Amino acid sequence: MSTLGHHREMSDEGPGTYGTQRKAAARNRQAIIDAAHELFAENPLVPLSEVARLAGVGAGTLYRHFPTRDDLTLAAYQHDIERLTATADEVLERHTSAKAAFVEWFETLAGYIRIKHGLGDAMHSAAVQDVVEASWEPTAAGVKKLVDACRAEGTIAAGHDPRDIIMLMSFLWRVAPTDEGVAQGRRLIATVFNGLEAPPS
Amino acid sequence: MSTLGHHREMSDEGPGTYGTQRKAAARNRQAIIDAAHELFAENPLVPLSEVARLAGVGAGTLYRHFPTRDDLTLAAYQHDIERLTATADEVLERHTSAKAAFVEWFETLAGYIRIKHGLGDAMHSAAVQDVVEASWEPTAAGVKKLVDACRAEGTIAAGHDPRDIIMLMSFLWRVAPTDEGVAQGRRLIATVFNGLEAPPS
DNA sequence: ACCTGAACACCGTTCAAGT
DNA sequence: ACCTGAACACCGTTCAAGT
């Protein structure tokens, strides 16, 4: 409503006081994300106070940037998720068979989840369900490319929603990180693929 | 090692002091389980102090009986799990088609998980993974009956491990408790069943 | 032998004071 | 405007004292 103000400083990209403060704030934000990314990988339930300590900021600063733990979790893994999405294109280019690309991509995802325990657990926990929902949106686009290629190839029937397929792969978060678990994951991916040959009911 | 003692009282089923104490302890144990069952259904993360309060026991008593939260979770849902297992037989008796029995059983499971949010969440959380593993052992037996019947019928190929099939149904814990989620669950159960027509790789 | 419940430790979250 | 970090609230867990 006010027609006056100090908007100039707010949008000033130069070394003004606010600009420096905003840059410091951005640096803090990134430091928190980096610290969370490192610590969550080891233990998704790590106290946020430790994240703040590693990031070198006060507890209040962490809460200012990320009001809930979920917000921080999403931010911490967003980059990883984006990279994973990009992989879909690359894998498709490398294979002549779309089915092989599909299987490889999901096996890569399986390995990814296996190593990044934190990511797997965090995405799986009921508490961050909403965050997962939001962050899988771009991944769904990657899966859609794989599915479309398989459909064109005739190995997957028409009508399967990429979101359905991601759901079908839920077991990937539950298989044990052992040799047996790896084999089971591979087996189950193949079984799911098999089920996709017929159209959905 | 001692040859003397008061073993008589220990095994005495009568109204002796120790007998009464043991009965009181058993009553406490059950009260805790009942309280947990009731409160977990609403909120799986309910403070254990509230469980103790509803059960009318001190915090120490709760911890004496259930050293970890997982122990209590398992105890709280064991009865439900056993009942679910028993359903497998009943459903098979009611259907001439094993496939129909298989599908109905898993759709019942889906509904069960949907209503008992607490059970679903608790079984899904990484913290209770071990408990889930242990408690699904009897359920696997129920699933095995369904699978065997389908195999005899020819709708499921030989070689599929019941544990694999339970794993494949992991999505049941993730579908939303909405009309759309219900429809999705039904669709995905059918797709999984489809994939089981071919032998595992 | 079993139980109670106060006491302790620890983590999440807020907010007054500082820059 | 943003930050620090002490203070507060809350929950898990233990243990001395009671029956």
Q: Which of A50, A67, A84 is the last residue of a domain?
A: A67
- Residue B3: CB atoms within 10 A of its CB come to 4
What residue of B is the nearest CA neighbor of A125?
B125
Phi, psi of B199 (to 5 degrees): -65, 155
Between CA B138 and C1' C12 the distance (Å) reads 39
Q: Choose among A47, A54, A13, A16: nearest CA to A33.
A: A54
Task: Name the nt closest to B58 by C-alpha to C1'.
Answer: C4
**Contact predicate A146/A193, CB 8 Å:** no
Q: For chain A, percent helix, then strand, then coil, each to nearest 5?
A: 75, 0, 25
Question: Which of B67, B96, B118 is the endpoint of a domain?
Answer: B67
Residues of chain A short of pLDDT 70, as ranges, are 1-19, 115-136
> Alpha-carbon distance B170 to B166, whole Å?
7
**CB within 8 Å: A124 and B126:** yes
The per-residue pLDDT for range B39-77, each reduced to its tens digit, is 988 888 899 999 999 999 999 999 999 998 888 988 888
pTM of the model: 0.76
A35 and A73 share a domain?
no
Closest CA to B102 of B171, B169, B175: B169
Yes or no: say if B43 and B120 are a contact pair by the CB < 8 Å rule: no
CATH of residue B165's domain is: 1.10.357.10
Same domain, B77 and B123: yes
Q: What is the pLDDT of residue B126?
A: 44
For CA atoms A76, A122, A99, A159, the dihedral sign is negative
The answer on A150 and A163 residing in a single domain is yes
Q: How many whole angstroms separate alpha carbon A154 and alpha carbon A97?
A: 11
Higher pLDDT residue, B125 or A44?
A44
Taken in order A36, A38, A43, A44, the sign of the CA dihedral is positive
Percent of chain B with pLDDT over 90: 49
pLDDT of residue A160: 96
Which contacts qualify for A95-101: CB closer than 8 Å, 24 or more apart? A97/A153, A98/A146, A98/A149, A98/A150, A98/A152, A98/A153, A98/A155, A99/A150, A99/A153, A99/A155, A99/A156, A99/A193, A101/A146, A101/A149
User: Are B191 and A164 inside 8 Å of each other by CB?
Assistant: yes
Domain count of the fold of chain A: 2
Residue A109 structure tokens: 């995802």
Contacts of A141 (CB under 8 A, 6+ apart): A85, A162
Shortest alpha-carbon distance between residue B157 and chain A (Å)? 11
Residues A83, A50, single domain; the answer is no
- Based on the domain organization, do A62 and A74 belong to the same domain? no
pLDDT of residue A117: 56
Amino acid at B114: R
Domain that holds residue A4: 1-67
Provide, in whole angstroms, the distance separating residue B81's CA from nucleotide C18's C1': 58
Please state the φ and ψ torsions of residue A53, each to the nearest 5 degrees: -65, -50
Q: What's the pLDDT at A138?
A: 74
What's the confidence (pLDDT) of residue B11? Answer: 38
